[in-house]
Every structure is written in C-alpha cells, then in structure tokens.
A and B are shown apart, each in its own frame.
Chain A
C-alpha cells in the first residue's frame, strides 16, 4: 500500500532524505506522491560534478574553514540532495579526522570519493575507502607491513564499517585481516608534495596463507572486502545503521529483515535507501521527530530555505572575500553548534540524538540562531518580503514556516515567535523571531 502523501509525510521525507524543503517543495512532493518523490531523489541524472575549492595561498592546501563553507554551499545548492546526504552519512560511517590526516585536500578527496560511490554498490564503496589516502593515514594502514601488521584498520573495518562488534569475528580474524592489509602504502606525488592515492607494494605485503572467517588462502585486502561485503551480518549491520541515522530509532526485527533483504539482493546502497524511505514504518508516529538534526543538517536546511548567497569557494580563496558575515557565518554556526565537517570526535563518527541536547548545545543553538537571524535579514533574498510583513505577526510566522519548511508550528513555538514580533523594532523583532524559530523543536528535530 502506498504511503499516504500528506504534507507531514512529504516534509519528513525531504528532511531525512535530503536537507529539508520549503513549504512549496513539500507541497510539490506531496502532489507527486511519496514513492515517486523517492525515485526522483534517487535519480542521479542531473548530479553536478564536484568542483574543488580554490587553494588558499599559504594554507596547505585547504583548511578546515574552507571545507565547511564548501560542503555547506554544495549541499544547499545541489539538485541531488539525497546524494549529498548519503555522502554526509558515509562521512560519519567511515569517519576520519583532519586532526590526524592534516591535509585538507585529502579530506576533500575523501568526501568526493564517498559521494561518487555513496549510492552505488557497497563493495565498490568499501574498496574505494580501502584506497582512500585519508583513511590510510587515519587508521595507520600505511604503517602496516609484512611481519609487523597493524590492527587499527583491520579491527575498525569489521567492528565499525561492516560487521559490528560481536557479529561473527574473533581477535584471531582481526590479526589475520591485519596481515591481509599489509603493504598498502600512500602514493606520494613528489611535485604536489602530497599523496594522490594508495597502492599495494608487493615487497611489503604478507603473501602467506591466512584464515579469515573460515576462508583460507593467501588473501589480500581486496579478498577481504569481497568476503566481508558478502556476509549477511554485514547487510544487517549496514541496514541497521542506515535506519538508525535516518529514522532515528533502532529498527524492529521485521523492519530490519525487509531492509537487509532489499540491500543483500544486489548490494546497491540506493536499494537500501529506497527500502528505508518507502517503508511504512518510516512514516510511523514514533519516527516523526525522533531524530535530533545534526548541526550540519540544520545549517544546510536554513541556508537552503532562505537561499543565503554563500560565496563559491571554487571561485577563489575564502580568505580573500570581503563579506565576512555571509562567508564566515556557516563556519561560525557549525563551530558554535559543536560540529565540524572533517573533524568527527573519533572513528565512531558523530553521536546520535541525546548528546546533541546537552546544556552546552542548548546555548549554542540560541547563539547560532541569533547570528543566523542577522545573516538572513542582511543577505537573504527573502528578507525584503519578510520586512514588508512587519506589524503582521501572523503573516511573518507563516512566512517563516514556508522558508523553514515547517508544516505546522506547535502552539508554544507560535506564541514565542509571536511575542518576539510585538516589541516595535522591526529589524530586531524579526531577527529574534528567526532565532526562536531556529531553536524550536520543529527545526532542531528532523
């Protein structure tokens, strides 16, 4: 039975499978129907190519700030929001941090790799991660050579990336996978003075026989990827994680069965996404508003909804831009909200739900909200229309609903926004109203 195409369901889908939509977009999605909207989201036909940020003189070669602005702008303006959302999901799954990787362009390259393979076959994605220089650096893969295998990558490959802890592997498997992954070294480009890829150096690889998950032979990293991607434990583990991060709850067994079956058939991630976003359980009451939007998600949603004109980091160094408010706004907002692209807390990625609601974060949301209010009034093409409505609180509240893509404000939020709009100073009132809308449960929760 098709999912009922209510505005509430359509808004829910656009928030979880993309970066939200304006009320017009939500209406269009509802008119089109849920299944058809999911298909359109999954269609990569008009996916734009990624354009690298410009290099900043004296900075080697991109910095964390450039990475933030580049990703936020790219995600907010992309005609294929689900592809960007999948890239973001995989960045949290195959987490690496610039803190250890150091080179910003390796972080950019990794995001490009995750995006290119993020909806395709999982084994292809896994193989691209094996050969990703950022991952190679982050989990010490390049330090692992015959006779001295390093277990860092081997363990996380099974624990966090494919099977899940306790799901059918032992410490002996970790040791053997470590041996299979010896000799995968960074490929340094002397002219660029940075790695451009990785390669297997035969002399440093352990060619001996290994026993991994019951299979015996002179296995190498590619064999291990093939072996792991074929395991039913892997299909269930990835399906569970995908559901948790998009639905917000742990899937019940029956739902997990459906997802894993859809995924296992061809190992295509788009199949898993389709099974998730068209599942009746995805539209159950306890899934609506059961996910705390991560800061990157809520910032992209706001930039997108208000069409904030961010400068293109591909066009020139962000450090040579004149307009600081709008160029550096998203960078500051993410920092205040406690999340930065390319800087996850550890290899497990970013936390889920509860930790985003601690006391430091509550204050950060309001602080970022006030700054976002400033940026919208000064730079959004929709600011003039909003200011024209001054004196009509109900109309402004409704206009904010359109831009934030909220189908219905709760009474408490409506009252808070309404009260902010009645003090008689149009600019300040509107900024406070935007800040309150930004910190409301309707926007904070996805």
Chain B
C-alpha cells in the first residue's frame, strides 16, 4: 500500500465519513464535565461554560505542531547567555562557546542548533524565557502532567490541546482535528473525544486510492477514534467498540469471519513494520509524516510529537548535543518539505522543566524555569518573557520562574487555534508569541 494522500484526500474523507457518521452522534454529550472528575468545581464550571458558549467555526487557520522535549531540557547550554555568568555557573561543565551561534548581544544558541539560528535571522524564531510551573515539584511526572493539563488544577482530566480542539468541533466531533504521532499525548485528551494517534513508523492508515476503493474503511476509522476515546464508556464497552470497528473494516474487505481480511484490516490501523526509507531519527520521521499529511490536504489543526530523552543527569556533554542536532535537523526537514505551506505552520516546543545551574560532574539535575522555542513565519520573532536572573535563585538553588507555563500555552492556543485563554486555564493572560 502506498502512503501518499493527494490534495483531495480531506474532501473525500469528509464526504465519505459524512455518509457514515454512526456511532459518533451516539457519543454526544456523554463525556463533558463528568469526565473531569469529582473535584475542581471552579475550573469544571468554567470549562462547562466554555463547552456551551458560542464557538469559532472549524476551518483553515494556522497549524500548531507541539514538540515535547521529554526529560527536562537544560536551557543554559541551549540558549547560552553572553557574558561571564555562564562559565561561572557551569564551571568545567561549560560548553566551548566558540561554536555557538550568536543571536544578539544577550544570547547565543548551542553549536548544534545551526538551522534554528538561521530561523532567528530570518525572523522566524521566538525564544520564550523563564517558563515554568508554579511551585515546581522537580518531578518529571508531576510537572509533565501539569503541562499536559495546561492548568495546575489536578482534578482536570483533559489536556489543554484536547479542550481547545473540542472547541473547534462544537457539533459532531472531528477526531482528525488533532493528531499525535506515536502514543496519544494526554495533552490531547478531550472532554468528548480523543484525536487520532498514528504509529510513528511512517505508515498512513489510508491513501487516496484506497479510500476510493474502500469507503467503509475510512468511516470505520473515524468511528474507531471516537469509540475508543469516549471517557464515559466502561472499559468493556471501549474494548468492544474498538474490536467491532476493526471487524467492521474486515467486513468491507471480504467478511469479518475471514482471517486474512481480519489481519488486513488490523494492519490498516498501523503497528506494522516501519518504512526504513523515511528520515533518520524518530523525530525526523514523525515530522515528515506530519508534512505529508498537511501537504495531502488534511485540515488537522494540531499535531503532537515527542522527542527525548533530555534527562541529562549524566553524559550531558554527549547526549544533549545529539538530541539537539536531531531537533534542529528535523525541524528544518519539516520546513523544507512543506515549502510554501511552511507559512501555515507554528512549531512550539515544551519541556517539563529546565535544569539546575550547577554542574554535577557529569550533567545537571532537575530544575525549574526552562526556555521554549516557537518557530515559523507567523511567530512574533524575538525574545519573550524575562530571562531568569543568573545571580538569584530559589531556595533549592534553581532558576526563578518568570513566565507562567499557562500563559505560554494559552498564547499558543489563542493565537494559532483561536480559542479563548480560559479554555486552557481560567484567568491567564495569553502570551503574544504569534503575530
């Protein structure tokens, strides 16, 4: 099976799915506030209001691609401050400054970030300083979950992207509005439905010619997203729904009772051998897949892909450059592949926390404030947020958080997806990171 959707894919997809939207309507308001769990009445009420308020229409608009830098990226090595403070803080762990890419009088990028430096000079890079969670626990799990929820309210069971996408799909859920490469990020968990998760091996579950030949498959795929993502259903119902949908696909291929059809149907949904020809690392492969989908005409508004591991307690001197080179090359690969469509895209990174100023002999420990990148022709290029002071720290010796992570995420949601900041977290001021 080839994996090249043509520009009419989305139109066909919608036409075909429209004719067979069973199962989706049935989910209706099933999740809603009930899915938020018992506590958190204030936020729950706010989100409930958001769910019934008038919503912007689905349609064209900027495409947000979030890249999770898992493990906690050390910003000090990544966006190196000009001046003596860096060497003073890092001691013999400091990287050789001569290979860094000077941005301006204040900062230089790590030597691995050649292409990102080019984006800076092209006016396509925003550097957001001092971003962190309030009262950081220094725990990967606590902080990652907080970033995924987009709020400090632990009773919220949905993700900031999931809630935002739900606002763009007020009537019948459209699972293709969001798409994760690899496992579905909890940042995309929605109140009524979950977006699509595709395997990261480069296979697409459909192609233009395949859709023409097997319309039922596409409709069934659409149903699978909603059925297996319905937070209100029992575990058994969710298993049965997904099983039923895959069997439904087999029916269109020659009968649900035919073993070969069953296997073929299952393969259509992914988890098979990878296509070795694609990209180099998993991140490059994931972003290339995303470029294919955008060029193929899917009107997906938010994509998520994960990159790591940045938890450099040891061997930071070799591990960090390797991960950064991959990040830099993969983003540039996306830009080149998208060509003219690059202007529709906003790429934004997030990492659960930055790292400690001190060098531990081999690497760095969990910290607080981190630096995030927003990349694309429509970003408000330049520095955002106050850089964390290099001579004042919190009681644990960590950098001071100057930018609330909720403002950063609310800014991305507001200025790319067009949803109000309250959808992310009530009462926050969205950052103007996108022009």
Instruction: Say yes or no: is A358 at the interface (Cβ < 8 Å to chain B).
Output: yes
Which of A26-34, A51-59, A146-154 contacts the other chain? A146-154
Within B220-243, the residues touching A (CB, 8 Å) are 224-225, 228-229, 235-236, 238-240, 242-243
Interface contact B267-A441, CB-CB below 8 Å? no
Q: Which of A151, A348, A353, A358 makes the CB contact (< 8 A) with B184?
A: A358
Q: How far is the CA of A435 from the CA of B137 in the complex (A)?
A: 45
Q: Which residues from chain B contact A440 at a C-beta distance below 8 Å?
A: 239-240, 243
Pair A140/B235 contact, Cβ less than 8 Å: no
Q: Which of the residues B142, B224, B262, B265 comes within 8 Å of A359, measured between beta carbons?
A: B224
Say yes or no: is B390 at the interface (Cβ < 8 Å to chain A).
Answer: no
Chain A residues with CB under 8 Å of chain B are 139-140, 143, 145, 147-152, 155, 159-160, 165-166, 171-172, 174, 289-290, 292, 336, 338, 346-348, 353, 355, 357-367, 369-371, 373, 410, 412, 416, 419-423, 428-429, 431-432, 435-436, 439-441, 444-445
Are A431 and B313 in contact (CB-based, < 8 A)? Answer: no
A362 to B313, Cβ gap below 8 A? no
Name B250's closest neighbour in chain A (CB-CB).
A366
Across the A-B interface, the 9 shortest Cβ-Cβ residue pairs: A363-B269, A148-B361, A362-B242, A367-B266, A366-B266, A441-B236, A152-B313, A420-B257, A140-B314
| Residues of A close to B382: CB separation below 8 A | none
List B residues at the A interface (Cβ < 8 Å). Answer: 137-142, 183-184, 194, 196-199, 224-225, 228-229, 235-236, 238-240, 242-243, 245-247, 255-259, 262-263, 265-272, 311, 313-314, 360-363, 365-366, 396
How far is it, in angstroms, between the C-alpha of A34 and the C-alpha of B198 when the chains are bound?
A: 44
**CB contact under 8 A between A363 and B246, given known A171-B138, A445-B235:** yes
With A151-B366, A373-B259, A420-B257 as known contacts, state yes or no: A363 contacts B138, CB within 8 Å: no
Q: Would B240 and A359 count as touching, CB distance under 8 A?
A: no
CB distance from A247 to the nearest CB of B (A): 13
B271 partner, pick from A145, A338, A445, beta carbons under 8 A: A338
B139 touches A362 (CB 8 A): no
Across-interface contacts of B183 in A (CB, < 8 A): 355, 358, 360
Given A359-B242, A432-B257, are A148 and B360 neighbors across the interface (CB < 8 Å)?
yes
Cβ A150 vs Cβ B271 within 8 A:
no
Query: Which residues of A sit under 8 angstroms from B314, Cβ to Cβ?
Result: 140, 143, 150, 152
Specify which chain B residues have a CB less than 8 angstroms from the CB of A428 in the assembled complex. 258-259
- Residue of A with least CB distance to B141: A348
- Residue of A155, A362, A366 near B138 (CB, 8 A) is A155
Q: In chain B, what residue has the closest Cβ to A172?
A: B396
A128, chain B: closest CB distance, angstroms: 23
The closest CB in chain B to the CB of A421 belongs to B257
Residues of A contacting B258 in the complex (Cβ-Cβ under 8 angstroms):
423, 428, 432
Q: Which of A150, A338, A348, A359 contacts B225 (CB 8 A)?
A: A359
Partner of B262, one of A143, A347, A366: A366
With CB as the reference atom, state the residue of chain B lying closest to A419: B257
Which of A160, A336, A361, A371 is the most central at the interface, judged by chain B CB atoms within 10 Å of its CB?
Answer: A361
B141 near A140 with CB under 8 A, answer no
Please determine whether B243 and A370 come into contact, CB atoms closer than 8 angstroms: no
Give A171's nearest chain B residue, CB to CB: B396
Q: In whole angstroms, how far apart are the Cα atoms of A373 and B260 in the complex?
A: 12
Chain A residues, CB < 8 A from B225: 359
